[in-house]
Amino acid sequence: MERRHALKSMAGGLGALLALPAWANGWSKNELDRPQLLSTGELSGLEAVCDALLPKTDSYPGSKDLHVHLFVEKMIADCYDKKTGDRVKAGLAWLNKQSDSLFDKKFVDTSGKQRLNLLESMQVSNKKEFVDLFQLIKGLTVQGYTSSEYYMTHVMGYELVPGRFIGCKPYNPAD
């Protein structure tokens, strides 16, 4: 009896292994990379927010160049509850509404100075949820930027094993 059970289990496992490549071929890179939390318009709004917080300079690339907004979206989708994702959508809609009423254009189409003014008004808003949302997006933007490959290799000078031992150092009695 035990042998039949073992043979059935092995046959089922072999069938699953044969079906896996055919099932995995249906995947696309875009489906695996992006969590689909935000629509295309909302994602471009989040990109504009991240770019306003860390813009491109003469010395360093901006958050837009490093695709930090995709990191922020992935973190919100994977590490926070659905309510936080809904608050991000509401905050981006609020920014568009404020931008439309003040500048007669969408937040994405505004200049860098106008974006900063809108984000500052969000930061000092009477509504605690907007202040918290601004802090969340700002923190995730900085985290995404400072954990990017560019930052770690070009700015920080990433070392695989830091803190090496230097054995031949001249002795100084004052030390």
pLDDT, one tens digit per residue, over 131-140 is 898 999 999 9
Inside any domain, residue 123: yes
Classify 170 in phi/psi space as left (phi over 0), alpha (psi -120 to 50) or beta: beta
Mean of the pLDDT values across residues 97-123? 88
Q: Residue 53: what pLDDT?
A: 93
Answer yes or no: is pLDDT of 29 > 90: no
Please state whether the predicted TM-score (pTM) of the whole model is above 0.85.
Answer: no
pLDDT tops 90 at residue 73: yes
Containing structural domain, residue 117: 33-155
In a domain, 26, yes or no: no
* Chain centre to alpha carbon of residue 81: 16
Task: Kindly indicate the confidence band of residue 146, based on its pLDDT and cuts at 50, 70 and 90.
Answer: very high
Does residue 21 fall inside a structural domain? no
What is the number of domains present in the chain?
A: 1
In sequence order, the 6+-apart residues with CB closer than 8 A to the CB of 82 are: none
19, part of any domain: no
> Could you tell me the pLDDT band of residue 63, with boundaries at 50, 70 and 90?
very high
Residue 131 to residue 92: CA distance in whole angstroms:
13
As a whole number, the mean pLDDT across the chain is 84
* Residue 23 in domain: no
Q: Is residue 150 part of a domain?
A: yes
State how far the Cα of 108 lies from the Cα of 112, in Å rounded to an integer.
10
Q: Is residue 146 part of a domain?
A: yes
Mean pLDDT along residues 94-122: 88
- With beta carbons less than 8 A apart as the criterion, state whether 131 and 123 touch: yes
Question: Which pair of tokens denotes residue 159?
Answer: 């070392």
| 16, part of any domain | no
